[in-house]
Structure 1
Amino acid sequence: MSHVETIESPRLLRGRWVHVTALLLLPPLGTCVALALLPVLYFDWLEVALLLGMWLLSGLGVTVGYHRYFTHRAFQTSAPVQVVLVILGSMAIQGPLLYWASLHRRHHEYSDTGPDPHSPWMRGEESLGRLRGLWHSHVGWMFNHKIPNPSRYVPDLLRNKLINKVSRLYPLWALLGLVLPALIGGLVRRDWAGVVQCFLWGGPVRLFLEAHAVWSVNSIAHSYGSRGFDTREESRNNAWLAIPTLGESWHNNHHAFPSSARFGLEWWQWDIGGGVIDMLARLGLVWDVRRPSEDRILEKKKSLEADPHPTVPEP
Structure 2
Amino acid sequence: MHEPKAMVKPPTSFMREKWTKLDQYISIALFILHILCIFAPFHFNWRAFWVSFALYVITGLSISVSYHRNLAHKSFELPKVLEYFFAYCAAHALQGDPIDWVSTHRCHHQFVDTNRDPHSPIQGFWFSHILWLFDSYTLTKRVCPKYFTDFKKIERSIIIWFSKHGRPDNVRDLEKQAFYRFIHKTYLLHHVAFAVLLYEVGGLPFLIWGTCVRIVVLLHITFMVNSVCHIWGKRRWNTKDLSKNNRLVGLLAFGEGWHNNHHAFEYSARFGIEWWEYDPGGRKPYYMNVDSLDGGKSNLGHSGYGSQTKHLNLDIKESYPGDAINFATKGTNSIRITCLYCRSVDYQIAC
Alpha-carbon distance between aligned partners in 1 of 2:269 and 2:29, rounded to the nearest angstrom: 29
Unpaired runs of 5+ residues, structure 1, are 1-12, 123-132, 186-194, 308-315
Number of residue pairs the alignment of both structures matches: 268
What is the TM-score with the length of structure 2 in the denominator? 0.71
Alpha-carbon distance between aligned partners in 2 of 1:63 and 1:245, rounded to the nearest angstrom: 8
> 1:143-292 alignment to 2 at 5 Å?
143-144=134-135, 145-146=139-140, 147-148=164-165, 150-185=167-202, 195-275=203-283, 278-282=284-288, 284=289, 287=293, 288-292=297-301
Whose helix fraction is larger, Structure 1's or Structure 2's?
Answer: 1
- Where 1:299 maps in the other structure, the secondary structure is strand
CA-to-partner distance for each residue in 1:77-129, whole Å, 9 max, x for gaps? 1121122122111111111211111111010011111101110014xxxxxxx
Range with greater deviation from structure 2 (203-212 or 139-148): 139-148
1:111 and 2:112 are equivalent in the alignment: yes
Alignment-derived partner of residue 305 in structure 1:
346
Alpha-carbon distance between aligned partners in 2 of 1:168 and 1:225, rounded to the nearest angstrom: 38
Alpha-carbon distance between aligned partners in 2 of 1:177 and 1:233, rounded to the nearest angstrom: 39
| Residues 30 and 238 of structure 1, relative CA distance in 2, 3 Å threshold | same
Larger Rg: 2
1:79 and 2:99 are equivalent in the alignment: no
Query: Is the 8 Å Cα contact of residues 239 and 344 (structure 2) preserved in structure 1?
Result: no
Alignment-derived partner of residue 10 in structure 1:
none
Alpha-carbon distance between aligned partners in 1 of 2:200 and 2:290, rounded to the nearest angstrom: 29
Tell me how far 1:55 sits from its aligned partner: 0.5
Alpha-carbon distance between aligned partners in 2 of 1:206 and 1:238, rounded to the nearest angstrom: 22
Alpha-carbon distance between aligned partners in 2 of 1:34 and 1:91, rounded to the nearest angstrom: 20
Query: Is the 8 Å Cα contact of residues 40 and 208 (structure 2) preserved in structure 1?
Result: yes
Alpha-carbon distance between aligned partners in 2 of 1:243 and 1:69, rounded to the nearest angstrom: 20
The letter for the 2-side match of 1:198 is: F
Range with greater deviation from structure 2 (162-171 or 58-67): 162-171
- Where 1:224 maps in the other structure, the secondary structure is coil
Query: Is the 8 Å Cα contact of residues 83 and 166 (structure 1) preserved in structure 2?
Result: no
Q: Over aligned residue pairs, what C-alpha RMSD do you find? A: 2.1
Unpaired runs of 5+ residues, structure 2, are 1-18, 141-163, 304-324, 328-336
Range with greater deviation from structure 2 (153-162 or 53-62): 153-162
Share of identical aligned residues, percent?
Answer: 29
Tell me how far 1:180 sits from its aligned partner: 4.0
Query: Is the 8 Å Cα contact of residues 230 and 243 (structure 2) preserved in structure 1?
Result: yes
1:94 and 2:95 are equivalent in the alignment: yes
Tell me how far 1:15 sits from its aligned partner: 4.3
Tell me how far 1:218 sits from its aligned partner: 0.7
- Where 1:255 maps in the other structure, the secondary structure is helix
Tell me how far 1:141 sits from its aligned partner: 1.2
1:141 and 2:127 are equivalent in the alignment: no
Query: Is the 8 Å Cα contact of residues 51 and 205 (structure 1) preserved in structure 2?
Result: yes
